[in-house]
Structure 1
């Protein structure tokens, strides 16, 4: 696992952070509500979604100097520019326009290939699932990687603005294969399933050394780092008040 300062374009990339802040200032925040989200991306014309644009229930935060949009088979794709040096990274992020108070999120995702050139790819350079997203420094994420799974939390009070919550050596990602990921957060408790098998069981987000509390509401997001990815069949609903 690499150092946080080299990984998270979503958290720590200075240029991307500035671009993201400009986008956030241009778009008023949504309030958390009860409206569910379902999108199989079949209703959009094929083509690229410009950075900063709104499409259906989504907003393109950044595309990593590459592209994000819908392919001819009605799937959301992200394909940032390929990095050519070990210290270079490019990422794409699309977030929901609506927010969720707690969330039950299911989607299909595929990491088609890793794009890094000239050096070995890092295991986190794949598709990520994001939720509880308030801004570029506060959100949860789950990564299915070639070497296992990772649950984490962005927070500015930690080195690299990142707090690792849970890791395990399995299951593991196979490049080029679809996986169905489900994330359910009720209050402080997070469960994650991959292809129907529970891989994180009742993780409780308690305050860490920085005094960070749980993120109880926010947007859901589709994120890609240094990879070509596909997302489809996204379903999300709030869980506030759920048992």
Structure 2
């Protein structure tokens, strides 16, 4: 059975397919699942670590990376929550970076919880990243160098490791544009509009690279259909 690991560089996501067991330092890597029918999340990538879920909240903890050229990541999508075309929808969730896992080198600021929407595959989605030194809203887009386009960013407010934050994203999808307003704790970070081959629909997901994170529950509300 194939196993997957998602590696996200600073500029792009790279998928590596490993057939059979992964052997590291003479030991077979173990992947632990604690998923149930009530989990309401689906694992896409486990990062050779642990994925668990209770009461609609997912806990992702990929394998610890011990060198600067190594990284492990995990991604899960929310069951039954999708952003639709020609609609206004607001998604909300609580997200927390429990701990950064990298050892041997200082953790990178983007090795935290990512909240994704309009996700169709690992090369097409929007994301907000709450970092200890600021925040960023981006679009994963293979048309750009490094497959990543930054839509908005700032160095304030900051988001300390270990703290939980309530996030809302209001998404309006029209025929030729997607407008997104991202807020944390009721305060708006930014409103951005994507008119360059926008992604009109897709799943909602949680992603982490080299960090243990907790995300959920996720709620969605529908608003008026855009004119």
Smaller-chain TM-score bracket: 0.7 to 0.9
Structure 1 stretches (4+) deviating beyond 6 angstroms? Answer: none
Task: Give the match for residue 110 of structure 1.
Answer: 96
Aligned-partner SS, 1:14: strand
Deviations 1:138-185 (A, max 9, x none): 000000101111000011111221111111111111111110011111
Task: Give the match for residue 204 of structure 1.
Answer: 193
Higher helix share: 1
**How far is the alpha carbon of 1:134 from its aligned partner?**
1.1
Task: Give the match for residue 22 of structure 1.
Answer: none
Task: Give the match for residue 227 of structure 1.
Answer: 211
Task: Give the match for residue 53 of structure 2.
Answer: 70
Matched, 1:100 2:83: yes
Q: Which one is further off, 150-159 or 95-104?
A: 95-104
Task: Give the match for residue 63 of structure 2.
Answer: 81
Mind listing any 5+ residue stretches in structure 2 that lack a counterpart?
Answer: 1-6, 19-31
Matched, 1:13 2:14: yes
**How far is the alpha carbon of 1:239 from its aligned partner?**
5.0
For 2:47 and 2:224, locate their aligned partners in 1 and report how far apart those are by CA, in whole Å.
33
Aligned-partner SS, 1:88: coil
How many residue pairs get aligned? The number is 200
For 1:238 and 1:127, locate their aligned partners in 2 and report how far apart those are by CA, in whole Å.
25
Task: Give the match for residue 48 of structure 1.
Answer: 33
Aligned-partner SS, 2:146: helix
**How far is the alpha carbon of 1:56 from its aligned partner?**
4.8
Higher strand share: 2
Mind listing any 5+ residue stretches in structure 1 that lack a counterpart?
Answer: 20-46, 208-212
Matched, 1:59 2:79: no
Residue 140 and residue 239 in structure 1: after superposition, are their counterparts in 2 closer, same or farther (change >3 A)?
Answer: farther
Q: Is the 8 A contact 1:131 1:141 kept in 2?
A: yes
Task: Give the match for residue 132 of structure 1.
Answer: 118
Q: Is the 8 A contact 1:59 1:96 kept in 2?
A: yes
Q: Is the 8 A contact 2:116 2:206 kept in 1?
A: yes
Q: Is the 8 A contact 1:5 1:160 kept in 2?
A: no
TM-score, structure 2 length as denominator?
0.79
